[in-house]
Amino acid sequence: MVVSGLWWIIAGIIALVDDNFYVVTKNYVFKFDVTTWGWIHLGFGILAMIAGIFLFTGAVWARIVGVLIATLAAVVAFAWIPYYPVMAIILVAVSAAVIWALTVHGRDIAMA
């Protein structure tokens, strides 16, 4: 989750620094400015990193928040597919892996 948050932060900083890096698709439902996407990615990255750091404590609330943030991150990454497809699909897959890991193996981490 920390690594995924770092990827979100990098994508957000790139969008904030260079508006022309991401290709803007015409006639797309989620037609935001690239700078708006940059702030969204930066926010999700910070939230994911904070939740990932608290996961190391083994707290149950951190697992719940981690699953919620990973779910929202997957939805945002799916909406971001037309802007940068490869990275968006990777972020969807990583979010799914985080959700799986937190729901299936979360009890093992809490017991340790």
pTM of the predicted model over 0.95: no
Are the C-beta atoms of 11 and 87 separated by less than 8 Å?
Answer: yes
Q: How confident is the model at residue 55 (pLDDT cuts 50, 70, 90)?
A: confident
Residue pointed to by tokens 């037309």: 82
Specify the amino acid at residue 1.
Answer: M
pLDDT digits (tens, 9 = 90+) for 9-43: 998 898 889 877 877 777 766 677 778 888 988 99
Residue 9, pLDDT score: 92
Residue 95, pLDDT score: 92
Residue 106, pLDDT score: 56
- b/e per residue 65-102 (b: at least 16 CB within 10 A): bbbebbeebbebbebbbbbbeebbeebbebbeebbebb
Burial group, residue 15, by CB count within 10 angstroms (0-12, 13-18, 19+): buried
Q: How confident is the model at residue 107 (pLDDT cuts 50, 70, 90)?
A: low
Residue 108, pLDDT score: 60
Residue 99 has pLDDT above 90, yes or no: yes
